[in-house]
Amino acid sequence: MTAAMESQTAPEPSPGRFEPEIVPASPDDLEARTARVERSVFRDAFVGAVIGALILAPIWAAMMWLAIRNADTAMAGPIAMAAGIGVFAGVFMGGWAGTLVGGTKLEHFEHEIRPRVEQHVT
């Protein structure tokens, strides 16, 4: 490495402080990155809803089976109803959890594009 190349390298950051590199973005690049992050949030919410439905439907069906296993009644109707309720609950809870995960990505992106403002403590 030559002396000219050594002078162009970035200084080493201090070990106790993280300072992100701020690079100005063009408006087109910013819109594309914003759309990508928003799609990521939607995808996380959708995946969370699917996972939640797949987990909670059998749990609700099993709870209904436990509740009526000794009763003299048909099993198919109540268990199907419980599975439907489990799907509904799973979509709600999984979508909520997925949105929370995606929201952190969106929050990190918003902090990344916001200009850095030094805060002075008085």
The domain ranges of the chain are 28-113
Alpha helices (H) along 1-122: 3-8, 27-68, 76-113
Query: Two tokens at 30?
Result: 């910013």
Segment 56-83 shows an average pLDDT of 93
Radius of gyration of the chain (CA): 25
Separation between Cα atoms, residue 68 and residue 72, nearest integer Å: 8
Please enumerate in sequence order all residues whose Cβ is within 8 A of that of 17, keeping only pairs 6 or more positions apart, or say none.
none
Structure-model confidence comparison of residues 86 and 37, the more confident one: 86
Query: Does pTM surpass 0.85?
Result: no
Each residue of 7-64: pLDDT tens digit? 555 556 556 666 656 555 566 677 788 888 888 989 999 999 999 999 999 999 999 9
